Structure 1
Amino acid sequence: MTAQQTARFWDKIADGYAKSDIADLAAYEYTLERSASYIGAQDEVLELGCGTGMTAVRLAPHAGHFTGSDVSEGMLTHCRVRAAEAGLDNLDFTQAMVGDQTFQGRQFDVVMAHSLLHLLPDLDQRLDDIAALVKPGGLFISKTGCLGEGLSPKSLAIRAVLPLMRLLGKAPYVNSLSITTLERLVTAAGFEIIEAGNFPNGAPPVRYLVARRRAG
């Protein structure tokens, strides 16, 4: 998909996505607490692929300033409604795609990417782009579905049906990552992983990572 096609895909499903329930609320709440513990009161935080803004609204009160970004203006419409309802004045939203020039020259104390990395083609390059947004010594926090992990019936079924769904325009690009591959790519981009776990630890697992950008 081109950037425009990707934006249109997510625009079409934004309303339904905003109404959908979190699949594993306990895992979501746990990782939310872990992420909040890494955010300082003066920190500048950027969330890439912020979706409808649920996580941004929950984490922004812990930061000095929080910026959410997403390729889909349809998703960002829901973000802005959520932020207004929460009365947050340190939270803003910007339409952007990972690797574009939107945040060129800026660096953040914390950069986040939830349910995003497996949707990015050329992930090694995109992780380099993300690393450039993180201050040396700053943090990159991510949650990534690892469809390439294991041989569970559910994982195999998802991998089998995805090409057809993409052909029909019913699914975006999805990279079937393993945990080993994901962590190797994050490390190769200049990060040191300091916390990791599967939340939820299902089939396929969702890998939660906190990684510190190495100085230099």
Structure 2
Amino acid sequence: MTTTSDPHATVRKMFGAAAADYAHTAVHISGPDLDALLEAGEFGVTDQVIDLGCGVGHTAMAIAPHVAQVTGIDVTDEMLAEGRAQLQRRKLTNVTLQEGDACAVAFPDASFDVATCRFAAHHYPDQVAATREAARILKPGGEYLLVDSVAPEDPALDTFENMIEWLRDESHVRNYRASEWCRMFEQAGLKAEVRYRAGLPLDGADWVKRMRTPATRVAMIRELFETASTKQKAAFEIVDKPWGFSLPVAMIVGVKG
């Protein structure tokens, strides 16, 4: 939690320091979840797409060949700078990365055919507002494709997962359950469907190194893993040598009526 008036201050601090690492992280550059998003998206060559919480732009760049224009927004300048450097190297001319807040998007109603968000929403300080904003900026019939780590429906497993996520990264707000996502989508006027579920295998050492997690917090995560119940170890596929686990991931697709 942060005491500053800027709700994104902790995200900016954490990801500003880690931007260069995220530019080259395999699980963000590609993966079956990104393949599922590209397959689910009904992209057309004239489409205008917005990628919310775009980070360094991996998802925006993957979508770019299929559409007219992709606009990525993020609150962290260092992440955007890394992304712009990649755009120049790859000579992608139909992607724009700019500063912007997914909880208060600076675009008019019905501006986009498709909105995407991949591995960013668990940092948003107001998820209800962010979901409503995604719905607002979509044209009628437009799609919102959200991929994120999700919590199990079991309350105890939910608590365990969100605790290890927060220990690793203090800017973490919450991994929501798929049922919570669907409810938020529906309340925002989006017909919701879970289209993809999988476990994302994570090497523990790399996972904490990428976020520059302090040693004291790493030790707490390791202790939670070592003392985890049989149910917890099975749910998250916790292993010891090398240490790591599997993070539940889902894609929620919402269509605006």
For normalisation by structure 1, the TM-score amounts to 0.83
Q: Distance in 2 between matches of 1:47 and 1:142?
A: 10
Q: Structure 2 unaligned runs (5+)?
A: 202-235, 237-246
1:128 and 2:132 correspond: yes
Q: CA deviation at 1:151?
A: 7.0
Question: Hey, what does 1:208 align to over in structure 2?
Answer: 251
Question: Hey, what does 2:214 align to over in structure 1?
Answer: none
Q: CA deviation at 1:44?
A: 0.3
1:109 and 2:108 correspond: no
Q: Distance in 2 between matches of 1:152 and 1:101?
A: 34
Question: Hey, what does 1:198 align to over in structure 2?
Answer: 197
Q: Distance in 2 between matches of 1:33 and 1:16?
A: 24
Question: Hey, what does 1:160 align to over in structure 2?
Answer: 163
Between structure 1 and structure 2, the one with the greater Rg is: 2
Matched letter for residue 206 of structure 1: V
Counting only pairs closer than 5 Å after superposition, residues 65-144 of structure 1 correspond to structure 2 as 65-105=69-109, 107-144=111-148
1:146 and 2:150 correspond: yes
Query: Please, what is the CA RMSD of the aligned residues?
Result: 2.6
Indicate conservation of the 8 Å contact 1:139/1:213, yes or no: yes
Q: Encode CA deviations 1:121-180: one digit per residue, 9 max, x unaligned.
A: 331222112211111111101102113444787x65443345555xxxx42132131111
Matched letter for residue 122 of structure 1: D
Matched letter for residue 196 of structure 1: R
Q: CA deviation at 1:13?
A: 1.2
SS of 1:205 mapped into structure 2: strand
1:34 and 2:39 correspond: yes
Indicate conservation of the 8 Å contact 2:54/2:60, yes or no: yes
Q: Distance in 2 between matches of 1:126 and 1:55?
A: 18
For normalisation by structure 2, the TM-score amounts to 0.71
Q: Distance in 2 between matches of 1:115 and 1:141?
A: 11
Indicate conservation of the 8 Å contact 1:115/1:143, yes or no: yes
Question: Hey, what does 2:9 align to over in structure 1?
Answer: 4
Indicate conservation of the 8 Å contact 1:71/1:96, yes or no: yes
Aligned pairs, number: 208
Q: Structure 1 unaligned runs (5+)?
A: none
Question: Hey, what does 2:180 align to over in structure 1?
Answer: 181
Identity of aligned residues (%): 23
